Amino acid sequence: MVLVTHDDLDGVACAVLFKKLFPDGVVYCESYDTVNDRVKQLVAEQSPEVRVYIADISVNPEIAELLDKRGNVVLFDHHETAMWLNRYDWVRVSLDRCGAWMLYDRLRTVKRTLFWDSYRDFIERVDDYDRWVHRFPESRLLNRLLGILGRERFIARFLANPSLVFTEFEEYLLEVEEDRVRRYCEEQYVHLSCDAGGRPYGVCFAENYISELAHYLMEKHGLEYVVVLGLRGTSRSPYGKAYLRGRMCDVSAMAKRRGGGGRAATAGYALSPDAVREVIHKLWEEA
């Protein structure tokens, strides 16, 4: 069994569920600019007898056709930019639940075991954070813990113990990290402007605490949306991530035009070096 998933909290939660049911399964956590190459590689190297799960992330039309010919694949996603994939009978894209919750429902039908009930609270908090519902205060802390522990330790922790009651040491780590995040957000420069529709927005450069920073800036400056630009991964490839506070526009449309994906409230995309230079020049001219 193979799982290809996103590299954020929702995607890593998919990895937890997958490894719980398939301990020997192989997991790849990918970004939007690496997922198509990864899946294409799997199609070329893996036997069609190997079932491939794809969750919380989608593929482009070329890769979708390859998967359709290969078969033995299922894809679950919840982003507006992936709705077109519903034309395939092996795909389910729905906007009302995060990718981990959709995978959770599917895996429970594959193997009905008692341990699934113990992951219910975990999945609800992941959904709360990923879809920006903000109903549970601990959902933000769950994402924070992922940042502290890193992907592998986070997966190991929740494979061993799905409880959201943090240990004393985890509480200490979260408290220290809270102070670090607060200082980081306060120190970042944001360029404020209004778009053609008169909506106030901000643009900033950052590589850490992206969602926390976006939320902080929107609250502090009363912005409708924020675009965070930065560098990602060992390749240091430029990317942009947009966050929306209200419902007056759809940032996923902006991401889709740039080859990315996401939801109306938050979306990401890769940036070319020319696009980065264009943004920098624009900020310099308006300074």
Residue among 32, 22, 31 at smallest CA distance from 2: 22
| Residue 65 phi, psi dihedral angles, 5° rounding | -65, -40
Asked if the model's pLDDT at residue 220 lies above 50, the reply is yes
pLDDT at 94: 92
Residue among 48, 47, 14 at smallest CA distance from 30: 14
Mean pLDDT value of segment 33-49 = 93
| Residue 229 phi, psi dihedral angles, 5° rounding | -110, 145
For the purposes of burial, counting CB atoms within 10 Å of the CB of 1, is it exposed (0-12), middle (13-18) or buried (19 or more)? Answer: middle
Residue 54: strand, helix, or coil: strand
Asked if the model's pLDDT at residue 283 lies above 80, the reply is no
- Quick one: CA dihedral 272, 11, 185, 265, positive or negative? positive
Question: Do residues 22 and 124 make contact, with C-beta atoms less than 8 angstroms apart?
Answer: no
pLDDT at 271: 53
pLDDT at 287: 46
Question: Do residues 282 and 262 make contact, with C-beta atoms less than 8 angstroms apart?
Answer: no
Question: What does the alpha-carbon distance between residue 126 and residue 132 come to, in Å, rounded to a whole number?
Answer: 10
Question: What does the alpha-carbon distance between residue 230 and residue 276 come to, in Å, rounded to a whole number?
Answer: 9
Residue 91 gets the label, from left (phi > 0), alpha (psi -120 to 50) or beta, of beta
259 compared with 116, residue with greater pLDDT:
116
186 compared with 209, residue with greater pLDDT:
186
| Residue 180 phi, psi dihedral angles, 5° rounding | -65, -40
Q: What is the mean pLDDT of the chain?
A: 84
pLDDT at 273: 58
CA 128 to chain centre: 13
User: Across-strand partners of 74?
Assistant: 53
pLDDT at 278: 63
CA 149 to chain centre: 17
218 pLDDT band, cuts 50/70/90, is confident
Question: What does the alpha-carbon distance between residue 127 and residue 129 come to, in Å, rounded to a whole number?
Answer: 5
pLDDT at 214: 84
Mean pLDDT value of segment 32-37 = 90
CA 161 to chain centre: 23
pLDDT in tens, 188-214: 888 888 878 888 888 888 878 887 888
Q: Which range, 221-225, 239-243, 269-273, is most confident? A: 221-225
If one counts every other C-beta atom within 10 angstroms of the C-beta of residue 193, the result is 14
pLDDT in tens, 122-149: 999 999 998 878 889 889 899 999 999 9
The fraction of the chain above a pLDDT of 70, given in percent, is 79
Mean pLDDT value of segment 101-113 = 86
Asked if the model's pLDDT at residue 158 lies above 90, the reply is yes
pLDDT at 222: 87
If one counts every other C-beta atom within 10 angstroms of the C-beta of residue 66, the result is 17
Mean pLDDT value of segment 236-254 = 52
